[in-house]
Amino acid sequence: MYSFNSKVRYSEVGEDKKLSLNGIINYFQDCSTFQSEELKVGVDVLEELHRVWVLSSWQIVVERYPDLCEEITIATWPYYFQSFCGYRNFVMKDRKGQMLAYANALWSFLDTDTGRPVRVPEDIEKVYILEEKLDMNYASRKVPMPRDGERKEPFAVQKHHLDTNHHVNNGQYIQMAREYIPEDFPIRQMRAEYKKPALLGDMIYPVVQREDNRYMTALCDELGHPYAVVEVS
């Protein structure tokens, strides 16, 4: 397990002075990046190999959103590798060890020249110590498309949406979807499925649907094919 300690910053909170959902996502993403960098299989090493890890799906459960300046611990560990896939858990706890949020994520290992999945090399896989799968209620990694959703105004991908892979960062899709959800809607679980990368200048056509106590948002191209599908409940 890899972990680090932090304190909720003003730049990470919303109007309620609590860590935002996107802040939780960023902490989890940073935690896995820190582990890979410490194990010497980080961004620069993969770039030389023309390889990259991309997120295929998230399931994040929030027990409590921590407050501004609250001390937190973030941890992550991989629990399974299969061909080109890596499965990883995340947890966020308060200073007393109480669970704030936890997650399951599926990552795919890609060849950046072809954009196709490739098997994780043994010398990379073996540097990670596999640990027990987190005891949680695992949802399907498939997130349903809105069936009768409302189409929203399309918008273009901007530079600030991009990450080091030169496509929209996984957390940015969640931020995009969050724009269509009422501020007073209590998000206790978020699921996201990533279908294909959106690049600078691509147009995104959102489709949003509320069903019972959940919102489903598809962020699509002009043909209606999704870049990502996000569900919050």
Encode pLDDT of 29-46 as tens digits.
999 999 999 999 999 999
Query: Are 195 and 121 contained in the same domain?
Result: no
Domain that holds residue 81: 2-125
Query: Are 108 and 6 contained in the same domain?
Result: yes
Query: Are 160 and 106 contained in the same domain?
Result: no
The two three-digit tokens of residue 61, written as one number: 């459960």
Residue 159 lies in a domain: yes
Residue 144 lies in a domain: no
Query: Are 107 and 159 contained in the same domain?
Result: no
Query: Are 110 and 28 contained in the same domain?
Result: yes
Predicted local distance difference test score (pLDDT) of residue 164: 82
For residues 91 and 68, what is the distance between their CA atoms, to the nearest angstrom? Answer: 19
**Is the per-residue pLDDT at 75 higher than 90?**
yes
Give the pLDDT confidence of 95-121 residue by residue, as tens digits.
999 999 999 999 999 999 998 999 999
Residue 196 lies in a domain: yes
**Is the per-residue pLDDT at 51 higher than 90?**
yes
Query: Are 168 and 104 contained in the same domain?
Result: no
User: What is the CATH classification number for the domain harbouring 210?
Assistant: 3.10.129.10
25 contacts: CB under 8 Å, gap ≥ 6: 58, 60, 170, 171, 174
Query: Is the backbone of residue 98 left (phi > 0), alpha (psi -120 to 50) or beta?
Result: beta
- Mean pLDDT for the stretch of residues 50-66: 96
Predicted local distance difference test score (pLDDT) of residue 114: 92
Predicted local distance difference test score (pLDDT) of residue 146: 92
Query: Are 101 and 180 contained in the same domain?
Result: no
For residues 156 and 41, what is the distance between their CA atoms, to the nearest angstrom? Answer: 33
C-alpha gyration radius of the chain = 17
Handedness of CA 168, 173, 179, 183 (dihedral sign): negative
Query: Are 51 and 84 contained in the same domain?
Result: yes
CB 2 within 8 A of CB 75: yes
Give the pLDDT confidence of 137-180 residue by residue, as tens digits.
999 999 999 988 999 999 999 999 998 888 898 899 999 999 99
Query: Are 10 and 82 contained in the same domain?
Result: yes
Handedness of CA 105, 138, 175, 150 (dihedral sign): positive
Q: Tell me the pLDDT band of 207, cut-offs 50, 70 and 90.
A: very high
Predicted local distance difference test score (pLDDT) of residue 9: 97
Residue 137 lies in a domain: no
Residue 134 lies in a domain: no
Query: Are 162 and 117 contained in the same domain?
Result: no
Give the total number of structural domains in the chain.
Answer: 2
Predicted local distance difference test score (pLDDT) of residue 166: 87
**Is the per-residue pLDDT at 183 higher than 90?**
no
**pTM to 2 decimals?**
0.93
**Is the per-residue pLDDT at 78 higher than 90?**
yes
Q: What share of the chain in percent tops pLDDT 90?
A: 93
Query: Are 61 and 116 contained in the same domain?
Result: yes
CB 8 within 8 A of CB 70: yes
Query: Are 184 and 116 contained in the same domain?
Result: no
